[in-house]
Amino acid sequence: MAAKAAPESGVDYHSFANTNDYTVKHLDLDLTADFDNKILKGEAILDIKRLTPKNPELILDTRDIDVTAVRAGIGDSLEEVKFSLGKKDPHLGTPLKIKLPKGANRVAIQYQTAPGASGVQWLEPQQTAGKKHPFLFTQAQAIHARSFIPLQDTPQVRMTYEATIRTPEALRAVMSANNDPEAELDGVFEFEMPQAIPSYLIAIGIGNLDFKPMGERTGVYAEPELLEAAAKEFEDTEDMLEVTEENFGPYRWDRYDLLILPPSFPFGGMENPRLSFITPTVIAGDKSLVALIAHELAHSWSGNLITNASWRDLWLNEGFTTYLTNRIMQFVYGDERYQMEMALGYDDLQADLADRPDKDEIMAIDLRGRDPDEVFSNIPYEKGSLFLYELEQKVGRENFDKFLMEYFNHFAFQSITTEDFVAYLKKTLLQQYPDKLDEARINEWIFQPGIPEGAPHPTSDAFTKLDPIRKQWLNGEIKASDIDTKDWTFHQWKYFLDGMPEKLSEDQLKELDSTFSLTQSKNNEIAFSWLMIAVRNQYQPADARLEDFLTSIGRNKFLRPLYRNLMENGQEETAKRIFEKAKPGYHPLTVKVNSKIIYGD
């Protein structure tokens, strides 16, 4: 592969769909959630636009989907047609090839999903907060929509959709669409998504869900056991929405609600339009982890309004979003919080740059032949954000904000490539500020590994003042109980812990733990930072907490480093034992990426 030419801009190497012949414009979905058999069963009707006068086969993406019949035709007169499945690719799934009658503009596919569908998690009541009802959620990004809907699973194609979701009575279904909190719990839920979105933003959640408004346009769906706490924790969401609109342009999606998922959700959050999916592990009680909400909200501009054309261009989604997140945090919580969030992001970036091959440090990353789930890192997030921060610093914040506002407007509801962005930058900022910006440096940021010389280095005074304290304690000059941690924020705790050396003595670990009750920390980020230290140093008093953490939380941002750490610190057996115990409750993605860490390929 190394000898291959560079990836072609705008080509999606992760889809079989022949999007130059046809594009899907609208999806009409009718699915029944069968919790007993863990299958979604029903029909997807696709309205297609023909881009060629010829009549080639229509090729769709699927993964482990059982297609039982396909009809096609014009408008409502559909006839049964022939279809075949191609060869299964381990990363991409299986192409579904459909012979179309001449002029056909509609295809109806009857199918059911596999119980292990990669984009669906079926939860037992035991895995929910209420413990009484099952739960289902989907996670389509990056290439898992094809495991629950046969479609053109590429971010280059945008479609509107409508859906009927049939559930057991007593449960509520919600989607990345126009949710109605008043909908009767009669087992049938109707949805409409009038804005065209890429397939990776189609999402379904089903569970014992209640709704509580947080503001005029914002609210939370959650199990009743979590609803109040979630609404309180995220009460600033409406303010976040307002400041983002004021500074970066109108919110174009009508409502912005949150869906709080069970803790096995493999991510912190997912920006499903109108309804971000959120891990409950960020409900810390003190709003310390709400940057996650700012992040998912920001995707309503960077990602959902302007979408990466292929997964190589993911930095356009995540880098812009990370930059906007910091800005939103500053608007809502002030300068100190902003500095701390930025500094933590910078440290994450440095950590990733330290242990990644050069080729994976390139923002426009070459993903050919690779599974996007395996390549996931902070690079598109934090390097992308730092790049934009440098542009901001160079042209001035006011000018940069004006640029961003126009950018969101210019490419609204389009999918763009890295090269489209660079071309736009050349026509705008580069032309306006030739003395401040240069193209070579921009190319270096985007197409070279590492970060360019002289890149900004965000720091926070609230952090740097902890460095001498940590040092004094490490040198034995002060006791842990001498440290005045009364007013420390979560961010400061994280900085303090993450800056500890590789090895600590048993006495040092005990002293930290007995003084600050770290093993018992209720803040999952602090618990994580502490458990990383504990695993590295084989600190046994934290073993039970580690096992509990790994079996009750499915967020890969925590699980991957912890399992990797166990494997690298002579605790392979522990890693295997805990993983096997936790596996039945993990999401398919969590199983996949952590098996790789534990068992190799």
CA–CA dist 98, 84 (Å, integer): 7
3-state secondary structure at position 49: strand
Selection from ligand BES, Zn ion, none that 500 binds (CB < 5 to 8 A by kind) is: none
- Six-digit token string for 597: 């860490």
- Six-digit token string for 409: 């407007």
CA–CA dist 118, 289 (Å, integer): 28
- Nearest CB to ligand BES, comparing residues 112 and 310: 310
Half-sphere exposure of 133 (CA within 13 A, CB side): 18
**Per-position b or e across 394-409, b if 16+ CB within 10 A of its CB:** bbeeebbeebbeebbe
- Nearest CB to ligand BES, comparing residues 127 and 302: 302
CA–CA dist 420, 418 (Å, integer): 5
Residue nearest to ligand BES (CB): 268
Work out the burial of residue 505: count CB atoms within 10 Å of its CB; fewer than 13 is exposed, 13-18 middle, 19 or more buried. exposed
Selection from Zn ion, ligand BES, none that 292 binds (CB < 5 to 8 A by kind) is: ligand BES
Please give the residue ranges that form the binding site for ligand BES (CB under 6 A): 141-142, 267-271, 292, 295-296, 299, 318, 381, 557
Do 224 and 210 form a contact (C-beta atoms < 8 A)? yes
In three-state form (DSSP H/G/I as H, E/B as E, the rest C), the secondary structure along 473-488 is HHCCCCCHHHCCCCCC
CA–CA dist 16, 12 (Å, integer): 9
CA–CA dist 317, 307 (Å, integer): 6
- Nearest CB to ligand BES, comparing residues 189 and 558: 558
- Nearest CB to ligand BES, comparing residues 70 and 550: 550
Please give the residue ranges that form the binding site for Zn ion (CB under 5 A): 318, 321
Residues 6+ apart with CB under 8 A from 414: 306, 307
Selection from ligand BES, Zn ion, none that 287 binds (CB < 5 to 8 A by kind) is: none
Residue indicated by tokens 């993983």: 579
Cis ω on the peptide bond leading into residue 196 (within 30° of 0)? no
Selection from ligand BES, Zn ion, none that 270 binds (CB < 5 to 8 A by kind) is: ligand BES
- Nearest CB to ligand BES, comparing residues 142 and 220: 142
Task: Please give the full DSSP string across 16-37, using - where no structure is assigned.
Answer: ---TTTEEEEEEEEEEEEETTT
Our CA dihedral for 182, 187, 193, 199, rounded to 10 degrees, sits at 140
- Shortest Å, Cβ 271 to Zn ion: 6
- Nearest CB to Zn ion, comparing residues 557 and 592: 557
For the chain, what percentages of helix, strand and coil (3-state, to nearest 5) are there? 40, 20, 40
Selection from ligand BES, Zn ion, none that 71 binds (CB < 5 to 8 A by kind) is: none
- Shortest Å, Cβ 397 to Zn ion: 23
- Nearest CB to ligand BES, comparing residues 210 and 366: 366
CA–CA dist 157, 139 (Å, integer): 18
CA–CA dist 119, 152 (Å, integer): 15
Selection from Zn ion, ligand BES, none that 346 binds (CB < 5 to 8 A by kind) is: none
Residues 6+ apart with CB under 8 A from 329: 291, 294, 337, 338, 341
Pairing assessment for the beta strands 158-166 and 22-34 based on DSSP bridges: parallel
Do 45 and 160 form a contact (C-beta atoms < 8 A)? no
- Shortest Å, Cβ 120 to ligand BES: 15
- C-alpha radius of gyration, the chain, whole number: 24
- Shortest Å, Cβ 142 to ligand BES: 5
Do 53 and 188 form a contact (C-beta atoms < 8 A)? no
Backbone angles phi, psi at 553, to 5 degrees: -120, 140
- Shortest Å, Cβ 529 to ligand BES: 15
Selection from ligand BES, Zn ion, none that 364 binds (CB < 5 to 8 A by kind) is: none
- Shortest Å, Cβ 570 to ligand BES: 29
- Shortest Å, Cβ 318 to Zn ion: 5
Query: Active-site positions?
Result: 296, 381
Selection from Zn ion, ligand BES, none that 146 binds (CB < 5 to 8 A by kind) is: none
CA–CA dist 35, 168 (Å, integer): 8
- Shortest Å, Cβ 323 to Zn ion: 11
- Shortest Å, Cβ 70 to Zn ion: 35
CA–CA dist 278, 267 (Å, integer): 8
Selection from Zn ion, ligand BES, none that 142 binds (CB < 5 to 8 A by kind) is: ligand BES
- Nearest CB to ligand BES, comparing residues 70 and 220: 220
- Nearest CB to ligand BES, comparing residues 81 and 240: 240
